[in-house]
Structure 1
């Protein structure tokens, strides 16, 4: 059953004529007539009696009218809620990102364009997983084809950081063998699949870590306290009090990041504005590292 057919039925029932119904619906009179015939064919019932004064509901049409009005009310409620959701996006767009890009975006919140607000959540956070689906996701490496509308936004530079005492008067950047001999701060075993962890494992082999932790901000605090060395994003390490860059930028860890927006929201102004802001944050960080 076609919603356009039902709308035509309601319009003719309200106005009493095909001509007035066509004006109300902003379609041609033959189009209204075609919708009425289609609905009568689907139902197998005549819905109007036609005479020179117009169209009057048959007994069957009169019985169906309250039901069709209820359908109209439901459809209008759905449309209103959809409009409210779009208006809500003009205020808040949820962005999901892993720890490094989330930290980079948090630094750039002061440059967010006027209009939309951002709700920034960490990927894999069990508290937010049960909440509403994010409008935008920042992914590491190219997302699968068909996942949504995508924009490549660049990469995040990273390097090894530690206290100046770990350089021990040697020229920087340190040689690979010198780096391998230092006390390392690494992620926990459950995060062994992280690309940074794989790089560290290749560097130090089966040497035990000085400490393991689950978050980069914990590592940064430990580096600042002189507890060991760690791989940190450069935008964090370069600003770290007491921290010193001990290695070149690690090219093997500079995989691209991508913005993925839900396809049905591709034309939403707030979503597009926030996606553009994310790209700008990454671009400005890359320019600062040059």
Structure 2
């Protein structure tokens, strides 16, 4: 909801977080967004209001007189928002409608379906439209309400991002393959082993570069532009494959040979656009976050020992 200044509740929410924490970094941690997002939104808010809201001091961000006036208004909005949310959560109203989720093939086919099933058990009036693409959907154009992505790069500043986990990679093979060729325990033992990997269109991917750096090109006997196809080929014993742990650990007909180091780790993000926030979307985002926290050992080798 916007007022005549062009500001919406999300702007005031960020303003309150900075006022409460006295710093951009503290606000970013509280809201689980990037430091640069908070910096940009506060500056934009001051530009719209045509007045500074904070004094930038060595000790942190301190409210100006104008900031104090805005704070009173923002507190009232916060109280009203909490009252509405409480009424919705304690009343008889049910969540309903459609949520459009954009994500990658492996996430859509393996990781997310159990989460979506449990989510719909709780909210049966919600329909989930899952859009599979390796491209980044434009959330601001409402191509999707939520995007769930893996990557090393920080998401665009205009999106609200929540990093919900880290995905590690490992070398996997079929039991029959290991019986015939032996099971390597480290990179040094990969010499002579057959591999399935990405084709030339996907050769820029981190796992594909790692494979070609440690394996002779002649030992790559099967390629595909789709990781799920590489997983299937490895399952059939065609060769070993470097897979994200959630794909390898969820396939009973694959065994993990050894974990690849953190150089291949990818952050798992759930992204939304500030203007598309509603209780339906926020509830799904929170549910996915909580669900991922429960399966960290399946995602990240570092969590296995904790």
Q: Which runs of 4+ in 1 moved over 4 A?
A: 168-173
Which is greater in Rg? 1
Corresponding residue of 2:238: 227
Corresponding residue of 1:237: 248
Give the whole-Å Cα distance in 1 for the aligned partners of 2:267 and 2:205.
15
Say if 1:90 and 1:148 are closer, same or farther in 2 by CA, change over 3 A: farther
2:186 equivalent to 1:175: yes
Q: Pick from 106, 114, 118: which aligns with 2:113?
A: 106
Give the whole-Å Cα distance in 2 for the aligned partners of 1:217 and 1:232.
9
Q: State how 1:1-290 maps to structure 2 within 5 Å.
A: 90-102=96-108, 103-112=110-119, 113-114=122-123, 115-124=125-134, 133-139=143-149, 140-168=151-179, 174-266=185-277, 268-288=278-298, 290=304
Say if 1:171 and 1:138 are closer, same or farther in 2 by CA, change over 3 A: same
TM-score, scaled relative to structure 2? 0.57
CA offset digits 1:18-67 (Å, max 9, x no partner): xxxxxxxxxxxxxxxxxxxxxxxxxxxxxxxxxxxxxxxxxxxxxxxxxx
Q: Determine if contact 1:141/1:258 at 8 Å carries over to the other structure.
A: no
Q: Determine if contact 1:155/1:282 at 8 Å carries over to the other structure.
A: no
Say if 1:170 and 1:250 are closer, same or farther in 2 by CA, change over 3 A: farther
Corresponding residue of 1:28: none
Give the whole-Å Cα distance in 2 for the aligned partners of 1:277 and 1:132.
21
Count of aligned residue pairs for this structure pair: 201
Give the whole-Å Cα distance in 1 for the aligned partners of 2:261 and 2:185.
13
C-alpha deviation, 1:269, in angstroms: 0.4
Q: Determine if contact 1:167/1:246 at 8 Å carries over to the other structure.
A: no
Give the whole-Å Cα distance in 2 for the aligned partners of 1:255 and 1:125.
16
Deviates more, 1:196-205 or 1:184-193: 196-205
Give the whole-Å Cα distance in 2 for the aligned partners of 1:275 and 1:134.
13
Say if 1:247 and 1:287 are closer, same or farther in 2 by CA, change over 3 A: closer
Give the whole-Å Cα distance in 2 for the aligned partners of 1:135 and 1:186.
32
C-alpha deviation, 1:125, in angstroms: 6.8
Q: Which runs of 5+ in 1 are unaligned?
A: 5-88
Give the whole-Å Cα distance in 1 for the aligned partners of 2:161 and 2:262.
24
Say if 1:99 and 1:173 are closer, same or farther in 2 by CA, change over 3 A: same
Q: Which runs of 5+ in 2 are unaligned?
A: 5-94
